[in-house]
């Protein structure tokens, strides 16, 4: 490595004076070229901007909202207000289940994110999908994300009561159980503070409106900030 940078930046013979003489102008040009090369050689590397993959369903995609009002861009803006420059990728697909998420996960991980937020399970619960199937899908996702080298945040989901107490108990245990087994950070309930509040949801009662998204972002941003190494 010794001297390599200077050798690559060495002035060509054309910088020398005609007839082999070294005129004052040529010397100044050589000096200026050397300064430029040294500046480039010792310039600090650009700071790494963390990439956060927000991997979910319509709650992530921003169903019924303008694109810039969805959870991912508003999370990115909230992080920036804390002095954290991160790029939050909206990988939400409306209607997606844990099975659909598992099927597209490898493609989503191709961009090598630093952090993956997994926010799936709501549609599984609404459709009454077997909790054992949901658990298996999430288990596989966690292991794939871990093998990719990315950090992970699991956003929990709770089942509605209409499928019965047995179903709800089995479903609601999935997220804390997996978080404990794999040592994954868990935010217990993605819709905490918003669910069942008409003023924070769209007319369907399922998807947060802009005010509801603001509540979610305010609650979850400190958790994400800690995971990307910024102030919480």
Planar angle of CA 140, 120, 203, nearest 5 degrees: 170
pLDDT score of 229 = 85
pLDDT at 72 over 50: yes
Percent of the chain with pLDDT over 70: 79
- The pLDDT of residue 100 is 99
pLDDT digits (tens, 9 = 90+) for 116-146: 999 999 999 999 999 999 999 999 999 999 9
CA quadruple 168, 172, 177, 182: dihedral sign: positive
The answer to whether the CB of 15 falls within 8 A of the CB of 30 is yes
Q: Where is 82: in which H helix or E strand?
A: none
Residue 47 has pLDDT above 90, yes or no: no
What's the confidence (pLDDT) of residue 30?
A: 63
Q: Is residue 231 very low, low, confident or very high in pLDDT (cuts 50, 70, 90)?
A: low
Query: Are 53 and 109 contacting, i.e. CB atoms less than 8 angstroms apart?
Result: yes
Q: What is the mean predicted confidence (pLDDT) over 103-108?
A: 97
In the chain, where the domains are located: 4-42, 51-227
Q: Of 58, 96, 114, 172, which is the active-site residue?
A: 58
User: For the chain, what's the residue count?
Assistant: 232
Strands ordered across the beta sheet of 186-187: 87-92, 51-56, 115-119, 151-155, 186-187
Q: Is the per-residue pLDDT at 61 higher than 90?
A: yes
- The answer to whether 191 and 156 are in contact (CB under 8 A) is no
* pLDDT band at residue 60 under the 50/70/90 scheme: very high
Query: Which residues sit opposite 89 in a β-bridge?
Result: 53
The model's confidence at residue 6, banded by pLDDT at 50, 70 and 90, is very low
Question: Could you tell me which of 130, 64, 53 has the C-alpha nearest to residue 92?
Answer: 53
Indicate which residue of 12, 48, 147, 204 is catalytic: 204
Which fold does the domain 51-227 belong to in CATH? Rossmann fold (3.40.50)
Q: What's the average model confidence in pLDDT over 177-201?
A: 98
- pLDDT for the residue 3: 42
Catalytic residue among 96, 124, 172, 207: 207
pLDDT at 7 exceeding the cut of 90:
no
Neighbours of 143 (CB within 10 A): 11
Residue 205 pLDDT > 50? yes
**What φ, ψ does residue 169 adopt, rounded to 5°?**
-60, -45
Indicate whether 2 pLDDT > 80. Answer: no
Q: Is 204 a catalytic residue?
A: yes
**How distant is the alpha carbon of residue 221 from its chain centre?**
12
Cβ neighbours of 182 (radius 10 Å): 16
Task: State the pLDDT at residue 114.
Answer: 98
pLDDT, position 86: 97
Using pLDDT thresholds of 50, 70 and 90, give the confidence band for residue 48.
Answer: confident
Over residues 165-193, mean pLDDT? 99
pLDDT band of residue 17 (cuts 50, 70, 90) is very low
């Amino acid at each position: 490595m010794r001297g390599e940078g200077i050798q690559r930046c060495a002035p060509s013979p054309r910088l020398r004076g005609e007839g082999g003489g070294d005129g004052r102008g040529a010397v100044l040009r050589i000096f200026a070229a050397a300064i430029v090369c040294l500046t480039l050689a010792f310039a600090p590397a650009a700071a790494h901007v963390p990439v956060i993959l927000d991997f979910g369903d319509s709650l992530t995609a921003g169903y019924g909202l303008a694109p810039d009002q969805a959870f991912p861009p508003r999370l990115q803006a909230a992080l920036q207000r804390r002095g954290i420059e991160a790029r939050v990728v909206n990988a939400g697909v409306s209607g997606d289940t844990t099975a659909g998420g598992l099927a597209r996960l490898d493609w989503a991980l191709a961009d090598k994110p630093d952090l993956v937020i997994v926010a799936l399970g709501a549609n599984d619960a609404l459709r009454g999908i077997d909790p054992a199937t949901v658990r298996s899908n999430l288990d596989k996702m966690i292991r794939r994300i871990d093998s990719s080298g990315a950090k992970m945040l699991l956003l929990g989901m709770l089942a509605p009561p209409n499928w019965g107490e047995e179903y709800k108990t089995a479903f609601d245990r999935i997220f804390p159980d997996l978080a404990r087994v794999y040592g994954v950070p868990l935010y217990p309930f993605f819709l905490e503070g918003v669910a069942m509040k008409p003023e924070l949801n769209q007319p369907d009662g399922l998807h947060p409106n802009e005010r509801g998204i603001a509540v979610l972002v305010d609650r979850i941003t400190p958790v994400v900030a800690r995971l990307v190494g910024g102030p919480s």
